[in-house]
Amino acid sequence: MSDVTSKASELLQMHQTGEMLVLPTVWDAWSARASVDAGFRALSIGSHPLAESRGQQDGEAMTLDDALDGIRRICAAVTVPVSADVESGYDTPAAELVERVLDAGAVGINVEDTVHSEGRRVREIAEHADYIAAIRQAADAAGVELVINARTDALLHGTDKFPDPLAEAIARVKACEEAGARSVYPVKVPDAASLAALMAATSLPVNVTAHPVDGAASGSLQELRDAGVRRVTFGPLLQKALTGSIADLTGPWLGSAGRS
């Protein structure tokens, strides 16, 4: 537990420098070690790429046991702090979730407000904030500065669920900050103006999903830095970019005799 405690404090300090923190999104021990070897001092685990690596689907098609198996293997493979995506919590009470995540070695978590087991129902603002607050309380009781990255899918669901998705996202970000989150993650921010409004609404780092290659898809590194973004992850986009690279690397070896 002392190792987890120190790593959690280290990860929290990285969020409080005011500088951009890039947490490359990994999915197995190999991608984790490769990212650390590249120089990154902390990592994130994405549920989507983790599920892909296991031959499963995102959206809590994995069980919590499945997810923790992958999380444990990754955390054991590196010595840097690791934050893990636990989707909407896999229908697990906050205290149990915190205990099991810490036991697996992760010192940060993403927790979203879309409940996949209930037909992708979106938690109410207070309901999600209460879950975040219970996670905060459990982590504090364990003496661990668990970095909760509170995710909202208000912008992802858009006007299908909310008359003003940006206002809804801002309200959820504020509620999660008050509940004890250490960063917030409004997914699918549509433009720079919306990003600016979200960052103005909170003192916490706002997590942005970036494409590691195609800056036009998410904003380049410099554009995100100039905008004042303080936390960046890659979601499934690093894994997808590497998927294309496999064909580039191996294509010349696929002679006509080997083509199906």
The DSSP result for the chain, as a single string, is: -HHHHHHHHHHHHHHTSSS-EEE-EE-SHHHHHHHHHTT-S-EEE-HHHHHHHTT--TTTTS-HHHHHHHHHHHHHH-SS-EEEE-TT-TT--HHHHHHHHHHHT--EEEE-SEEGGGTTEEPPHHHHHHHHHHHHHHHHHTT---EEEEEE-HHHHGGGT-SSHHHHHHHHHHHHHHHT-SEEEESS--SHHHHHHHHHT-SSPBEEE--SS-HHHH--HHHHHHHT--EEE-TTHHHHHHHHHHHHHHGGG--GGG--
The pLDDT tens digits for 19-28 are: 999 999 999 9
pLDDT score recorded for residue 125: 98
Average predicted confidence (pLDDT) for the chain: 96
pLDDT score recorded for residue 260: 54
Is residue 255's pLDDT more than 90? no
Is residue 2's pLDDT more than 90? no
Is residue 256's pLDDT more than 70? no
The pLDDT tens digits for 175-201 are: 999 999 999 999 999 999 999 999 999
The pLDDT tens digits for 164-179 are: 999 999 999 999 999 9
Is residue 259's pLDDT more than 60? no
Domains in the chain (CATH in brackets) are: 2-244 (3.20.20.60)
